[in-house]
Structure 1
Amino acid sequence: MHNSKSEMPLLEIPRSNRIVDVKIIDTTFRIKDGPLADFMGPVIEGQEKLNVGGFGYLITHISPSSGSGKETVQKVLFDLGPPKNWKSDIPEPLAKRISTWEDDGAVITVEKHISEVLEDGGIKLNTIDSLIWSHAHWDHMGRPSLFPSSVNLIVGPSISSKFAPGYPENPDAPFFSHEFSGREVSELSFESSNLTIGGMKAIDFFNDGSFYILDAPGHAVGHINALARTTTSQDGSNDSFIFLGADSYHLGSQLRPNTYTPLPSSIEIPSFLPCPCPGELFERIHPLPVGGDPSLTPFHIIPEKSVAINVEDAREVISKIQAFDADERILVLNAHEWNYYDVLDVFPESANEWKKKGWKEKARWRFLGGFQGAVDLTFTDRA
């Protein structure tokens, strides 16, 4: 391993003393033995299937008291997971397409709507101000129609113009028209934004530096990410953040290792044998071309044939997220990575103290646990 670490680029996150509270929601969505090759490649022998869950995020923003002496509380839901009865709650052509995964051996389960999860956790749906779709894929849109009509729906660029009013009026729409109707739907635009964070166009959602929406094109129409400030410090240098990566990547193997975060020479991965594990074992299964450095290159990339609508843009977004991920102030999460579910405190608990609890260090290399079969095969081959 060469482990020649690159100098970190400047993310240029604006200073602020305002934070939001972030709660990570288990949407109860699981896919076992899903089609990994649809999302990442090259496929490594012994690790051919995708096992994922689904996260949503409850963002609570409290504005300082005004002249009335009352604080203003705003609650925003970023990503809703899939609907519980997805085979009937999404348009039939889309449901049929997803069902082919089951034909190939995938097991898809959803125990609850996210609205039910919230209510079970003591959140009244009429206290939610806005729902934000990271993009219009079936496993992120949930059922907005289960929320009161007072709850706004916020979508990324071109979602409304491409898919409104919904199915069946628009046969290309991945959602029924009743999910849009009867509520305010706002489409974000980054064209007028002069704010950039980590090379990504940004919108200061609450206008106080506590929560940013980031333009993250490539995976799907109108795909967005977010950056939440979770703690502040006197000079700003020790602020902490949670980056919400949605579907920009699906497993940490698409982010790491890289020139900012090299593969360690020894790694502790719970339930993995041997443990601690020499990094060299993972170098042996790395699907790199001859001459590449497996200690500085992610195990997977977004393949040319994938669900991404623009592979070049999607890969560029991942390269930008790598810089956020390498920053010790920032916990990078996405919508589906389940390797470190046991590391996190989920709703109704707050995630704001993640840094103090060491989640980043515990979670960083957990994705390698999914390579047990591939590593075992290399030992079998050698034997």
Structure 2
Amino acid sequence: SGTRIDIPAEQFVQPKVCGFNRLKGPSFCFLISHASGQKVVFDLSVRQGFEKLAPTVVDAIHKLVHDWHLSTSRDVSEVLFENNIRLPDVQAITWSHFHFDHVGNPALFPASTELIVGPGSTAAVGNGYPNEPDAPVLASDWEGRELVELDFGETNDTLQIGQFKALDWFGDGSIFVLHTPGHAVGHLCGLARVLGDSYVLMAGVACDGHTAPFFQPAKDYTHDYKQCLSTLEGIAELDAKDNVFVVLAHDNHALSIFEEKDDLGMRWLFPEKSIDSWKSNGLKQAIRWKFLADFGHSVD
């Protein structure tokens, strides 16, 4: 969608490091195509027109306007439509969490498209604006469509993947939804099997891009700090596996690799190429240590 975010680093990661002042990045979302032909979208990035967000969010953005720089060029639905993906073919939208830079505009999808959210999300957002004046999301995001809040209780065929409770979305081991709380109420990650035994972990903001040994999440923008640290450990455990490619929603270094053009001028971005073949093309290795460049100005 072309979303770019540029925000003060110290608001999201601690401690403050001299020379590392800004967190810059995209807001990745994913189109997942199942062998059955069904399609799922994981996250919707930022909707067109910040002024159309819930007023409580708009007010917060206005207060931060001098420190936060946000831009987006298109809604995800527009990108899909322009590239011959019929919106009625999208079975579900999954929100990693309900922050404005991930919820997009579900109202642009037909009523047949379900909206999937994590545990506790519906209680946290209430009935949406304008039904509740202080709600952080719009009621129109789910009005007229099925809103599904996932339950990771033991009676719901819950699995365990690493440190996380998980659900097998299609029942065939192709796509799992992981409960990764901490950053926000009901935060979810998506784990998709791609080629062979390789997987892509759509990590949302389960990690804030930089973790130990250099940083920890800042507490002000973390819903449950203790849970967040536990989730970070679990994500790191999955990232240590050679067959799991962790993609963080706001990873600017991943974006730099995805935007590189091959000999045919194709990038690792929809609709040009799929990241299904990430392993054979060395994408994980290409990204792994690029974050060290963030500290270039801090090294004497």
Q: Do the structures match in fold with TM over 0.5?
A: yes
Encode CA deviations 1:329-369: one digit per residue, 9 max, x unaligned.
11111111011313221111211100000001100011112
* Count of equivalent residues: 288
Aligned-residue offset at 1:194: 3.7
Aligned-residue offset at 1:101: 2.6
Aligned-residue offset at 1:108: 1.1
User: What residue ranges of structure 2 are gaps of 5+ in the alignment?
Assistant: 259-267
Aligned-residue offset at 1:122: 2.0
2:90 to 128, 135, 148: 128
Q: Which structure has the larger Rg?
A: 1
Within 1, Cα distance between the matches of 2:117 and 2:158?
Answer: 20
Partner-residue secondary structure (3-state), 2:32: strand
Q: Counterpart of 1:367?
A: 291
Q: Counterpart of 1:350?
A: 274
Mapping for residues 180-259 of structure 1, pairs under 5 Å: 180-191=142-153, 192=155, 193-232=157-196, 239-251=197-209, 253-254=210-211
Encode CA deviations 1:291-331: one digit per residue, 9 max, x unaligned.
xxxxxx4211113x321110000010001111111111111
Q: Counterpart of 2:114?
A: 152
2:253 is the alignment partner of 1:329: no
Q: Counterpart of 2:229?
A: 315
Does the CA-based 8 Å contact 1:165-1:180 persist in structure 2? no
Worse-matched range after superposition: 140-149 or 169-178: 169-178
Counterpart residue type for residue 73 of structure 2 = E
Aligned-residue offset at 1:125: 1.2
Partner-residue secondary structure (3-state), 1:352: helix
Aligned-residue offset at 1:150: 1.2
Does the CA-based 8 Å contact 1:37-1:306 persist in structure 2? no
Q: Counterpart of 1:302?
A: 217
Q: Counterpart of 1:53?
A: 26
Q: Counterpart of 2:15?
A: 42
Counterpart residue type for residue 280 of structure 2 = K
TM-score, normalization by structure 2? 0.92
Counterpart residue type for residue 96 of structure 1 = D
Does the CA-based 8 Å contact 2:247-2:254 persist in structure 1? no
Aligned-residue offset at 1:224: 0.7
Within 1, Cα distance between the matches of 2:24 and 2:213?
Answer: 19
Counterpart residue type for residue 2 of structure 2 = T
1:175 to 134, 137, 161: 137
Q: Counterpart of 1:31?
A: 5
Counterpart residue type for residue 351 of structure 1 = I
Aligned-residue offset at 1:175: 1.2
Counterpart residue type for residue 127 of structure 1 = D
Within 2, Cα distance between the matches of 1:172 and 1:224?
Answer: 24
Q: Counterpart of 2:76?
A: 114
- Higher relative contact order, chain-length normalized (CA < 8 Å, sep 6+): 1
Counterpart residue type for residue 347 of structure 1 = F
Aligned-residue offset at 1:370: 1.9
Aligned-residue offset at 1:62: 1.4
Counterpart residue type for residue 240 of structure 1 = S
Within 1, Cα distance between the matches of 2:245 and 2:144?
Answer: 36
User: What residue ranges of structure 1 are gaps of 5+ in the alignment?
Assistant: 1-26, 64-72, 233-238, 255-296, 379-383
Across the aligned residues of Structure 1 and Structure 2, the Cα RMSD in angstroms comes to 1.3
Mapping for residues 269-288 of structure 1, pairs under 5 Å: none
Encode CA deviations 1:110-158: one digit per residue, 9 max, x unaligned.
1111111112222121211110101100000000101111111111111
Aligned-residue offset at 1:170: 2.0
Aligned-residue offset at 1:225: 0.8
Within 2, Cα distance between the matches of 1:118 and 1:298?
Answer: 39
Partner-residue secondary structure (3-state), 1:331: strand
2:59 is the alignment partner of 1:96: yes
Within 2, Cα distance between the matches of 1:169 and 1:307?
Answer: 25
Does the CA-based 8 Å contact 1:40-1:306 persist in structure 2? no
Aligned-residue offset at 1:165: 2.0
Aligned-residue offset at 1:171: 3.0
Within 2, Cα distance between the matches of 1:97 and 1:208?
Answer: 42
Q: Counterpart of 1:81?
A: 45
Within 1, Cα distance between the matches of 2:75 and 2:298?
Answer: 35
Counterpart residue type for residue 114 of structure 1 = V
